[in-house]
Chains A and B, each alone.
Chain A
Amino acid sequence: MTGDLWRRAAPPLVTFVLGVALAELLIRALDVSPLILPRPSAVWSAATSEAGPLLAALAATARSVLAGLLLSSSVGVAAAVALAASPWMKRAFYPYAIFFQIVPIVAIAPLLVIWFGYGPRAVVAAAAVVSVFPVIANTLAGLLSVDPNLADLFRLHGASRTATLWKLRLPWALPYLLTGLRIAAGLAVIGAIVGEFVGGGGLGVVVLGAMRQQRTDLVFAAIGYASLLGLALFAAVGLASRLALRHWHASEGGER
């Protein structure tokens, strides 16, 4: 198990270390201004010396991202269930769900601040708005792909709509929902940081402040922390789907 993990983790780690070393050498050799591109070692020292405020900002952003994801996944699943209720519902409302897919979050973030005020509420809303569409789209696809024979089986035994929803349709849609959540997790981090640019708080504000002080190293350090957050969320959703779907098919157990 650990050997397997090592075999999978080693190649990207090696390329990371080599890439960082190469960047360090090139930036030194070409004498690039630290305002444009700071050396990796400078980014590292900013990341460690400012670790206190960066971690606090990370925690604030993480809270907003998690709250936003919670919101978008529950609203998204509920919306998908409603849209799947009848072909008419889907035809009437689904085109408007696509609005969430195409909305430029940078443009509506100020609007969210007008509605929810400065602070985490607007940031949570921004994270939720950008991450809700993949949840709706994937869950809906899952709900609509239920095996018709199984639907017949439920009908044959006089299952109620509620029983069919809980015992057949929702579990059937679970792998689809988890795929949607994996996409939503990455988008929620983007939404939260853009939300923070306007609404304040978290890593978004650290990036803005560092930019004003021309601390490019600190900007990079904040980006690094944000990437860690995205990575951790992505891994958490991956782990959750592995656990939830471990019995479903052989493919979830092994490498995909």
Chain B
Amino acid sequence: MQLSGNEAIALEGVHRTFRSEAGGEVPALAGIDLAVARGDFVALLGPSGSGKSTLLRLVAGLDQPQRGVVRRDGSRLAMVFQDAHLLPWRDVLANVSLPLELLGRDAATRRPLAEAAVARVGLADAARRYPAELSGGMRMRASLARALVTEPRLLLLDEPFAALDELTRMSLDDELRRLWREAGLTVLFVTHSIAEAAYLAERVVVLSRRPARIVLDHRVALPAERSAALRAEPAFAREVGVLQDALRAGAAA
């Protein structure tokens, strides 16, 4: 099976069940169909403990479905996890160049690419500092730089800003939108925050609680240019309302 022309990801009838400690079966995903167009910014919104992260890991190829098909175009992907997950024994620059190292690029090409990625997320001054010396927001920026250094075409993010304070989170939201628009990547962003999904994404897919089904597939009617002021506008409130209703319906189902 092939992806159609402009698709970056396609999932068809994807089922994933985990075995619980007690020996029972816990279905995480029950028949997910989802296609993501190249260059789109899609948020997966769902309650905590729904199969969002499972879905992301399937797309990344870190996990396999029991039934159904996951297809992805062959282009390079990168992933950003909950919390920064940097190597504590490496400074920012060395952390950022890690993916290049693992891909076998030589030191001479790694250095300028890593420096550019660090500069892109505004960490040039902190390039030689260690994760323990950085704030949570700076660590997450470093994590973003590490994801961007391989010039991925597909970026998967798993509730990356959930642990950060509100202001830091908002500034990283803006940063991510900017990076997405500059680089023209496809972004799949997992979150449980309604406001974050509405603010960030072009399209929001709302999942129900376990086993996850798609409750709503919604294209966000907001301008491409977004700033903090947007959060106070009626159009934004309307979007939040739509998502909220769907989330509530999915939680009740």
Residues of B participating in the A interface, judged by any CB pair closer than 8 Å: 57, 60-62, 77-79, 81-83, 85, 87-89, 91, 98-99, 101-103, 130, 132-133, 150
Check if A163 is an interface residue, CB within 8 A of chain B.
yes
Residue of B nearest to A168 (CB): B87
Selected interface stretch from A127-135, A145-153, A199-207: A145-153
**Cα distance, A104 to B223, chains bound together (Å):** 75
Task: Contacts A153-B79, A156-B79, A158-B103 given; indicate if A249 touches B88 (C-beta within 8 A).
Answer: yes
Task: Contacts A154-B102, A157-B103 given; indicate if A247 touches B88 (C-beta within 8 A).
Answer: yes
The 15 listed contacts between A and B (C-beta, < 8 Å) are A153-B85, A153-B99, A155-B62, A156-B60, A156-B61, A157-B98, A167-B101, A167-B102, A168-B87, A171-B87, A247-B88, A247-B130, A247-B132, A248-B89, A248-B130
- Within the complex, the shortest CB–CB distance from B21 to chain A, in Å, comes to 16
**Cα distance, A156 to B146, chains bound together (Å):** 13
State which of A147, A150, A156 has its C-beta within 8 Å of the C-beta of B77.
A156
A152 proximity list for chain B (CB < 8 A): 57, 60, 62, 79, 81
Check if A250 is an interface residue, CB within 8 A of chain B.
yes
Most B C-beta atoms less than 10 A away, residue of A152, A249, A250: A152
**Cα distance, A150 to B83, chains bound together (Å):** 11
**Cα distance, A149 to B158, chains bound together (Å):** 11
- Within the complex, the shortest CB–CB distance from A173 to chain B, in Å, comes to 11
Beyond the given A153-B79, A156-B78, could you list 7 further A-B residue pairs with CB under 8 A, ordered by the A residue number?
A147-B85, A149-B81, A149-B82, A150-B85, A156-B77, A171-B89, A247-B89
**Chain A interface SS verdict (over half):** helix
**Cα distance, A179 to B54, chains bound together (Å):** 36
**Cα distance, A147 to B86, chains bound together (Å):** 10
A171 proximity list for chain B (CB < 8 A): 87, 89
For window 21-69 of A, CB contacts with B under 8 Å fall at: none
Task: Contacts A153-B79, A157-B99 given; indicate if A250 touches B85 (C-beta within 8 A).
Answer: no
Task: Contacts A150-B87, A167-B98, A249-B88 given; indicate if A156 touches B62 (C-beta within 8 A).
Answer: yes
The 9 residue pairs across chains A and B that have the minimum distance between CB atoms: A247-B130, A157-B102, A149-B81, A159-B102, A248-B88, A149-B85, A157-B99, A249-B132, A171-B89
- Within the complex, the shortest CB–CB distance from A114 to chain B, in Å, comes to 44
B60 proximity list for chain A (CB < 8 A): 152, 156
